Structure 1
C-alpha cells in the first residue's frame, strides 16, 4: 500500500515517480530508443532500412561482442562502434548512419575474430524533406507526387510550366544525384500539340481533296474539285 503524506498532490507525484522508475528498469523505449535493433547469430543476412541522415543503433545479444566492423561501401553509410564502460570488455553496440542512397553490407566480427553476422543495409533518399522543400519553394504546385523506389526518386503528376519543371528536377537531384526518374508533365502542352496536329491534318486533307475556297461572301460559296487525286481511304 502506498501512503501519500502530501495529500492528493503528493500521491500524484509519487505515482508519476513510480511510473518513471518502472519505465527506467523495464522499458528503454520510454526514452525514444525505438531505433535500437537487436541482431543475433542465427540471422546471417538481416535487412536494415535507413533514409539519408537517419541513425540507428545495432545491439548484439550476450555473450556476443563486437570487436570489429566494416562497411562495404563507406560512401553510403558509416558504422561506429560504441564504447563500453566495463574495463577490458568488448562493446555490444554500433551506430549506423545513412549517408547517401544505395545498398551495402555491414560485417561484424566477434571477440574471437570470427564473422558474427552480415547486415544488408539499404539507404533511401529522404523524400519527406524533399516534399517539404518543394512545398516551400513552389507552393502553387499542388499535383507533384514524390516516391522512393530503393535508391531512386520517382516524380509524377503535373506542373504549371517548363521553368517550374526544371526547378523540381534540380531539387530532386540534390537528394538523389543521377537517380531521379521523372514522369512529370507540363500542364497544357499536350492540348496545344493536339490542336496543332489537328490543324496540320485539316490542311493536308483539304489539299488532297483539291478544295479551293474562291470566295465566301454572304450565302455565296464556291469550290472546285481538281482531278488526278489520290484516294484518302
Structure 2
C-alpha cells in the first residue's frame, strides 16, 4: 500500500514540475520587457495650434494688395468670388484683387484645416474717374469748387460753379471720363438763370405750304421768307432777295421772329391746326417736361409666381399726347444752348396687338409717334422751327342713288366714287427767352381780374358786359413819336 502511494506521488510531482518550469521560462521575457518599457523617456507634447489673425481690408475695384500671413497656408476660401479674387503669392502671402463692388470674407487654412487668417474685405468703386474729374474741373472752372464721388452705378458731381456754362463744361467732362455709368448732376450755380421756352405745335396742309412757298429753313435767321423765291428753282439756287423785276417770282420777307404770325393767319382760315402751345420755365441746366394727353394701360407679363405656378400679369401705363422735354444752358455771353425733344403720339388700332387668354381676347392698341430731338444755340427771343414730319391720310367716298345704284351695268351711271388724299406737315416752333422774377406782383394780372358779371338792368338797358366800374386807361407817358 505504501509502495503504491509513493509511485502515485512520483507520477504527480513530475508533471507539475514541468508545468512550473514552463511558466517560469515564459514569464521571464515579459518581465524583462516590462522593465525596458518603464525605463523609456515620456513622449513629447503635441504642437500648439497657432492663433488665427483677423482684420479688415478696403480695396478699390480694379486695384490689389498683398497680405502677409504668420504661417504657411494650404487652402484659401473667398465667400463671394465676384467681389474679390485671391491668389497665393507665396506660402505666407496672398494677393487680393478687387473685382466688383461689395463686401465678402476671405479665410486661409493650413494643411490640418486650422484657420490661419480671416479678413473682412470691402471693395468700393474705382476712384480714378472722380480724381480725374477733380483735376480737369480746375481748368474749366478755376474759381469753383467741384468734387466727384464714385458710386456703384456711376458718379455724383457736387460743388459750386460761377456760371451755367461752367456747369455744362464740367458735366461734359464727366460724361467723357465715365461714359458707361450714370452721372448725377448736383452742381450749384451761384447766379442761376431762368429760361422760358414758348413752343407751338401745329399741323399744316402740305399743299398750302407748297402754294405759299414757305421756307422753314429761314426761321431763326434775320428774315423769314414767304413766296416763290424762297424755294429752289429747277436750274439754280433761289435768290436771297428780290431787286427790281424778276419774272415769275414773288415773295415777301418778314423780320425775324414773325413766323408765328403766319401760323396764326393759316389757323384762322382753317389751313393749320394748332395742337398745343406750352410755355415752360426752368433753371439753366435743368430739364423741364410737359405732357398734354393721357395714359392707357398695357398689360405686362412678369416672372412665374412660386405660389400659383403661373405667370403674373401687371399693368404698366404708357403716355400719349403732346410731350415736350427741353434742357437749356445759358452761356456767359447770353446765348442759350437748347436741347429740345418734342413728341406727338396718338392711339391707333391699325397696328394693335391681340392677345388670346382662354376664351377671351385682349386688344392692346398701338401708338403713332411723331417727334424730333435736336440741340441748337439761340439768342434770347430768337426762334427755330422743326418741320418735315409728314402724315398721310386717304379718304374714299362712295355716292349712289338708293336702289338705282345697285342695278347691274346701268347702276354705274347712278354711282360716284371720290378719292381724296391729304398730306399734313407737323411744324414745331421753339422760342427761348431769358426771364427774371417779377418783384411787383401787381404787374401780373389776367384780363378778367376785377371783373364782375352785370345784373339784368346793366346788361339789358345799359348794354354793359361788366357790373363793376370801368377803368380808365392811363397812358404811361406823353403821346407822340419816338425818334431814333
TM-score by length of 2: 0.28
CA offset digits 1:28-70 (Å, max 9, x no partner): xxxxxxxxxxxx6143xx1111223332211221xx3211112
Structure 2: distance between partners of 1:148 and 1:212: 64
Measured after TM superposition, the shift of residue 110 of structure 1 is: 2.0
SS of the equivalent of 2:437 reads helix
Q: Which has the higher contact order (CA 8 A, sep 6+)?
A: 1
Match for residue 52 of structure 2?
A: 41
Q: Which has the higher helix share?
A: 1
Structure 1: distance between partners of 2:153 and 2:119: 17
Match for residue 217 of structure 1?
A: 477
Measured after TM superposition, the shift of residue 144 of structure 1 is: 1.6
Match for residue 336 of structure 2?
A: none
Match for residue 171 of structure 2?
A: 165
In the alignment of these two chains, the number of paired residues is 166
Structure 2: distance between partners of 1:196 and 1:215: 25
CA offset digits 1:168-215 (Å, max 9, x no partner): 1563465xx46x665224565456658847349837744457888642
Task: Please give the residue correspondences for 1:1-233 in structure 2 after superposition, counting only pairs within 5 Å.
Answer: 41-43=52-54, 46-61=55-70, 64-83=71-90, 91-128=91-128, 130-132=130-132, 135-136=135-136, 139-142=139-142, 143-147=145-149, 153-158=155-160, 160-162=166-168, 164-169=170-175, 171-172=177-178, 177=181, 182-185=185-188, 188-189=191-192, 193=282, 196=435, 198-199=437-438, 202=441, 205-207=444-446, 208=449, 214-218=474-478
Structure 1: distance between partners of 2:107 and 2:153: 21
SS of the equivalent of 1:131 reads helix
Measured after TM superposition, the shift of residue 151 of structure 1 is: 9.1
The 1:49/1:152 distance shift into structure 2, 3 A limit, reads farther
Measured after TM superposition, the shift of residue 140 of structure 1 is: 0.6
Structure 2: distance between partners of 1:141 and 1:100: 33
SS of the equivalent of 1:198 reads coil
Structure 2: distance between partners of 1:204 and 1:170: 46
Structure 1: distance between partners of 2:88 and 2:114: 17
TM-score by length of 1: 0.53
Could you tell me which runs of 5 or more consecutive residues in structure 2 were left unpaired when the two chains were aligned: 1-50, 196-281, 284-433, 452-470, 480-484
The 1:124/1:167 distance shift into structure 2, 3 A limit, reads same
RMSD between aligned residues: 4.0
Q: Is the 8 A contact 2:159 2:188 kept in 1?
A: yes
The 1:149/1:165 distance shift into structure 2, 3 A limit, reads closer
Structure 2: distance between partners of 1:75 and 1:162: 36
Structure 1: distance between partners of 2:472 and 2:188: 40
SS of the equivalent of 2:141 reads coil
Q: Which has the higher strand share?
A: 2
Find the structure with the greater CA-based Rg.
Answer: 2
Could you tell me which runs of 5 or more consecutive residues in structure 1 were left unpaired when the two chains were aligned: 1-39, 84-90, 220-233
